[in-house]
Structure 1
Amino acid sequence: MIFHLPLLCAFEEATMDSQPFYLRLFELLAVSIHQIAVYLYQQDGANHTHQDYQRWIDSPRDSSKWDGYRHPTAFCHTFYIAVERYPNGDADTVGYWAEAKIFGGVFVFDRGESETECNELYLHSGRRAGPFTLFPLTMEQFERLVDFLLGETEEPAASRSPLPFTATSENRWRWHTWDAMARYHIFRDKYERSVKPDKPTGCVKSAVDWPEIADELYLIGAMHDYWDGQRVDKNKVRAALERLQQITPSSPVWPNRNAHSWTKDLLE
C-alpha cells in the first residue's frame, strides 16, 4: 500500500490514545480499505469483465428515462464519480463505494483553514434512504470503533464490530455536501468530488438529512399549544432548544435557531 508521507508523519507525531491519534488512525484505515478495493477492481473479473459493463453503458438507451443514466462502474457511490480527477480513474469510484459499504459512509475530515489538519471525522453515506448530509459519529459510536480496532479482548471481532454505521437523529452536526467542501474544508482529498460554483438549491428538506427540522416543527407546535392555553412539556421544549444549537451554518434551520422567543416566558 502507498500512504502519503504527511499522513504518516501526522500519525507518528500524534500522542497515543489522543483524539488526533484516533482520527489519523481512521484516516489510515479508510485509505487502506480504499486501496484494497482499487486493487481488486483493477484485477478485472473472470466472469464479468469491465468490458461487459462498458458494452452495457454504450448500449442504446433513452437518456431521458429515470434509468437512462449509467454510472462509470457497477460499484459506485453517486457523489464520488469524478473519474477524470482520480489518480486511479474509475477504480477509485469502487474504492469510495467500498468505504461506504464497510463503514456506512466515505470517511472525510475537517481539514481546517490550512486544509491539512484532521479535526473531526464525518461520514458521507451512500444509502438510498439517506441521509445525503455529512454526519459525525456519536461519542458512543466513536468509542466503539476505537475499541473494535484497538481493544484487547477474546471476544470474536465480528461480534464486536460496530460497522457499518447508520445515521440517526443523534448524529449531529450535519453538513450540506456542497458547503462542506466549498466553504468549510471538509474532505479527505480535494479531488474526490466535483463542486459546482453555486450551491444547489433543492426543494425538499427532510429530518432524515437535518434532524433539527423535527425540533423546529416540535417547537412550532408547542408554541401554538402554549398560546391556546394547553399544557406544554418544559423539559421537551428545553431539550429541543438545546438541540437547535447543535447545527451548522449549512442547516436550513440555521437562520431561525434563536427565533423561539416565546419560550422565555414558558421557561422562567
Structure 2
Amino acid sequence: MAGPQLDAILDKQHRNVLNGAVRNVLGTELALETCAQIADGLPLARVAYDQYGRRREQGHPVSGHTSLCPGAEEIARDFLSGFAIDRLNFDDQLLQAYQSAPPGHHSFHCRLIELVAVAVHKMAVLLFGQGHRVHDKEPKNATSSIDIVSSWQSRLNREALIPPPGPTLFEHVSYGARDQYPDGVADAVGYWAENIILGGVVLFDRSEAWDDERTPEPNVYLHSDRDGVTFRVWQALDEQQQALVDFLLSSSPVGTCPCPLAASDKNLTRINPEGATEKKVYRDIWEREPPNRRGGFGARGLGGCIMRPLDYPKEALSKLESCLKYYAAFQTPVREKGGVLENFA
C-alpha cells in the first residue's frame, strides 16, 4: 500500500515537504480545470488547440467543446479535496534518493520536483481510471460522444492514409506509446496532465551519478507540447527552477505559482527529442517510442534551411546566414574562363 510505503522510507520532514508541495500544485485553478476536463472526457477547445504548430484541424468537432459539461468541475473539486499522496505508489528508489538528499540542497530540490511530477501524472491516471466520462451523460451529446470526437479524422488525412488518432484527445504528441506504458492509455493522459499543469513532461539528466559538492545535477528539463513553445526538450533556467522550488516549499502559495513553465529565447540548452534518450535525458527509459529519424530535425521535417528561431534560438541566425551565402553563391552569374567556371558578378 502507498501509505506504508511512504512511512517506511520517508522521515516526517521529507514526507511533510512532499505532501505540501503536491498540495500546492493540485490546489491551483489550473489543476482543477485540468482534472475537470479529465472527468468530462474531452478537453476544452482552447486547450485541445494549444499544441505545437496548432496541428489540430480547425474543423475538428472538439472545436465545439467550449465549456465543461455540467458536473465535471464538481467531480474534480471533490476528487482533489479528498486527494492524498498516500493513494499513490512511487518508485522505491526515487523515494530513497529523495530521503537521502539533505533539505535545501540542489539534489533535494530535483528529487522533490521529480516526485511532484510523478504525483501529477499518477493523479491523472487515477482520475481517468475512474471513468466518469461526464460528456457522454448529456443527451445532447449523443452524436458527438467522446469516442466519436476522439476518433475523428479529416477526409484529407484519411485519403493520405495518415494513421488514425488514438483513443483519447488527452495526449502529448511525443508520449503516445500506450502499448508500452504500465497503465496504457491512462499513462498518456498522465503525460498530458503534466504538460498542461507544469508546462511539459518533466525530464532529468541521467547521464551520471551527480554529487552536490563536486558535480551538481543539471537543472530539470521539460518537453512541452504547447502553441508558441518549442517542440525541443528544453532546460529550465536557474530562476525558473528556483521559482518552482519556492512555490513547492511555500506555506502560503496563493498567487505565486510559476506554472506552466515555458521556454523563451533565453532557454538556450535544448535537445532534439530524438536525441534526448541517447543523451540520457528522460524520466523513465520506456516513456517514448524509439526515435524515427526520417523526418530530419526533430522528426518534424525541419531539414535544410528551415530552422525556426522558436526552436533553435542559437542556431537560427547562423543557419540563416549560411543559407543566404549558399543561395547567393548558387545564383551568382558565372562564366567560363580557361575551361573553369568562375564568378564574375
- Normalised to the residue count of structure 2, the TM-score between the two structures is 0.56
Of the three residues 258, 278, 297, the one matched with 1:162 is 258
Partner amino acid, structure 2, of 1:209 = D
* Letter paired with 1:34: H
What is the CA-CA distance between 1:159 and the residue it aligns to? 0.8
Q: Deviations over 1:213-263 (max 9, x none)?
A: 34536988xxxxxxxxxxxxxxxxxxxxxxxxxxxxxxxxxxxxxxxxxxx
> Any gaps of 5 or more consecutive residues in structure 2?
1-87, 138-144, 211-215, 323-345
For the pair shown, the structure with the greater C-alpha radius of gyration is: 2
Aligned residue runs from structure 1 range 1-268, under 5 A: 1-48=88-135, 52-56=145-149, 62=155, 63-64=158-159, 69-113=164-208, 119-152=218-251, 154=252, 157-181=253-277, 183-196=278-291, 198=293, 200-201=295-296, 202=301, 203=303, 204-216=306-318
After alignment, is 126-135 or 87-96 more displaced?
A: 126-135
Q: 1:83, 1:92 within 8 Å by CA — same for their partners in 2?
A: yes
Distance 1:59 1:197, change over 3 A: closer
Larger mean Cα displacement after TM superposition, 30-39 or 130-139: 130-139
Question: SS at 1:108's partner residue?
Answer: strand
Q: 1:150 to 1:216 in 2, by over 3 A?
A: same
Distance 2:182 2:92 in 1: 17
What is the CA–CA distance in structure 1 between the aligned matches of 2:187 and 2:275, rounded to whole Å? 23
Shift of 1:46: 4.4
Deviations 1:34-66 (A, max 9, x none): 01000111111242359x433555678632369
Task: Report if aligned partners of 1:85, 1:191 keep a CA contact under 8 Å in 2.
Answer: yes
Gaps of 5+ in 1: 221-268
Higher helix fraction: Structure 1 or Structure 2? 2
The number of residue pairs the alignment matches comes to: 216
Q: Secondary structure at the match of 1:179?
A: helix
Q: Deviations over 1:92-150 (max 9, x none)?
A: 111000000011111011111579x9644100001133301011111111111111111
3-state SS of 1:191 partner: coil
State the distance in 1 between where 2:170 and 2:312 align.
27
Q: Is the 8 A contact 1:111 1:119 kept in 2?
A: no
The answer (yes or no) to whether the contact 2:274–2:292 under 8 Å persists in 1 is no
CA distance in 2, matches of 1:47, 1:206: 40
Say whether the 8 Å CA contact 1:112–1:118 is kept in structure 2: no
Q: Is the alpha carbon distance of 1:66 and 1:8 closer, same or farther for their aligned partners in structure 2, counting shifts above 3 Å?
A: same
Of structures 1 and 2, the one scoring higher in RCO (CA 8 A, sep 6+) is: 2
Look up the SS of the partner of 2:222 in the other structure.
Answer: strand
- Aligned Cα root-mean-square deviation (Å): 3.1
- The alpha-carbon distance between structure 1 residues 150 and 45, as it changes in their structure 2 partners (threshold 3 A), is same
Return the letter of the residue paired with 1:110. Answer: D
Whether the 8 Å CA contact 2:219–2:237 is kept in 1: the answer is: no
Question: Which SS does the other structure have where 2:188 is aligned?
Answer: helix
- Alpha-carbon distance in structure 2 between the residues aligned to 1:47 and 1:15: 44
How far is 1:210 from its partner? Answer: 1.2
